[in-house]
């Protein structure tokens, strides 16, 4: 394991807040060529957050991707900065010519590691405020801003997309069930494993209606990156995709057979060839949907 991966492990706080951590080598682009910039913003309750970003060389607006990490926790600034410098996916998209922006949000899990209201709603609002701040950056055009998110971050992206209208969503096995309120239906003291064991017991008409109401407000075309080893990917296939389709929303489900949860960050068995395949596939998807084209770094 190299030095930057060790640093990210040491600085991690909460559960799984460093999906950018990967055994896959990053694309090294010097800070002279593409400096790391930071910006502070405050959320609905004046809580302070930091975001970090890099742009390809050149002037003017450019296609951009916001990255939302997974897990239920908040990432410290050092992790966010390291992600735009050393993230396997982030640096590949920067090389492709996209501006890359890494954000976080507050922890939205309770003491049992379960996504809980009202923490979920506050974390979604953190993401909304981050996106509204990003829309004000001089290199960003609203119709050329995509979100790349995974797992818990995917839930935050879906929730925020109901209020901010990004140009496209690319979601790695998003924990979309979080937005249905299904975890609030668990008995007191229950863990996520209880839901995994018997999802249908808790995912009833109330939860289905709530998820449908979220999807109803989303305008962004959505690309799902899915493996086939997680109950989260099963839920998305069985419930999220049909809701999109029923409401006439644009969604593509791209399945990567044999891949585990987290593969879309280059983790848990994903190799460099798979990461490169994901980047190529997503790049093609975004080029067809964003107003501006990326500026490749040669």
Q: Cβ distance 151 to 71 under 8 Å?
A: yes
Q: Record the pTM.
A: 0.93
Q: Is residue 297 part of a domain?
A: no
What domain range includes position 20? 3-287
Residue 12, classed as helix, strand or coil, is: coil
Q: Classify residue 294: in a domain, yes or no.
A: no
Domain total in the chain: 1
Residue 298 domain flag: no
Report the C-alpha gap between 243 and 115 in whole angstroms: 22
- 88: exposed, middle or buried (Cβ count in 10 Å: 0-12, 13-18, 19+): buried
For 43-56, write each residue's pLDDT tens digit.
999 999 999 999 99
pLDDT tens, N- to C-terminus, the chain (298 residues): 444 343 333 333 334 445 445 679 999 999 999 999 999 999 999 999 999 999 999 999 999 999 999 999 999 999 999 999 999 999 999 999 999 999 999 999 999 999 999 999 999 999 999 999 999 999 999 999 999 999 999 999 999 999 999 999 999 999 999 999 999 999 999 999 999 999 999 999 999 999 999 999 999 999 999 999 999 999 999 999 999 999 999 999 999 999 999 999 999 889 999 999 999 999 999 999 999 999 999 9
- Whether 295 is in a domain gets the answer no
For CA atoms 99, 274, 245, 193, the dihedral sign is negative
Question: How many angstroms from the chain centroid is the CA of residue 95?
Answer: 19
Q: How many Å apart are CA 177 and CA 239, to the nearest integer?
A: 9
Asked if residue 293 belongs to a domain, the reply is: no
Residue the block writes with tokens 């596939």: 281
Angle subtended by helix axes 272-287 and 88-96, to nearest 10: 40
pLDDT recorded at residue 51: 98
pLDDT the model gives residue 268: 87
Q: Is residue 296 part of a domain?
A: no
Residue 175 within any structural domain of the chain = yes
Q: 259: Cβ–Cβ under 8 A, 6 or more apart, which residues?
A: 227, 228, 229, 268, 269, 270, 274
Q: Give me the residue label for tokens 């901010």.
A: 164
Of 80, 270, 63, 82, nearest to 170 by C-alpha is 63
Q: At 48, which CATH number? A: 3.40.50.1820
């Amino acid at each position: 394991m190299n030095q930057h991966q060790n640093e990210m492990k040491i600085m991690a706080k909460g559960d799984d807040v460093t999906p950018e951590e990967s055994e896959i080598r990053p694309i090294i682009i010097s800070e002279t060529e593409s400096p790391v910039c930071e910006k502070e913003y405050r959320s609905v309750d004046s809580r302070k957050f930091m975001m970090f970003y890099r742009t390809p060389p050149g002037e003017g607006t450019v296609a951009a991707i916001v990255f939302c990490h997974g897990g239920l926790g908040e990432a410290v600034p050092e992790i966010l900065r390291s992600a735009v410098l050393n993230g396997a996916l982030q640096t590949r998209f920067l090389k492709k010519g996209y501006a890359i922006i890494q954000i976080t949000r507050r922890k939205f899990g309770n003491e049992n590691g379960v996504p809980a209201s009202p923490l979920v709603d506050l974390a979604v609002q953190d993401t909304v405020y981050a996106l509204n701040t990003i829309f004000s950056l001089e290199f960003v055009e609203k119709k050329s801003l995509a979100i790349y998110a995974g797992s818990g971050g995917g839930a935050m992206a879906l929730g925020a997309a109901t209020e901010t209208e990004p140009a496209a969503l690319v979601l790695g096995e998003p924990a979309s069930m979080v937005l249905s309120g299904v975890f609030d239906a668990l008995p007191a003291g229950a863990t996520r494993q209880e839901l995994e064991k018997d999802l249908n017991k808790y995912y009833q008409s109330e939860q289905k209606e709530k998820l449908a109401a979220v999807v109803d407000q989303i305008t962004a075309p959505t690309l799902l990156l899915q493996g086939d080893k997680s109950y989260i990917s099963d839920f998305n296939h069985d419930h999220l995709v049909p809701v999109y389709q029923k409401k006439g929303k644009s969604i593509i489900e791209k399945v990567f057979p044999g891949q585990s949860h987290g593969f879309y960050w280059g983790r848990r068995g994903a190799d460099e060839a798979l990461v490169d395949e994901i980047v190529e596939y997503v790049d093609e998807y975004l080029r067809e949907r964003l107003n501006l084209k990326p500026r490749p770094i040669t």
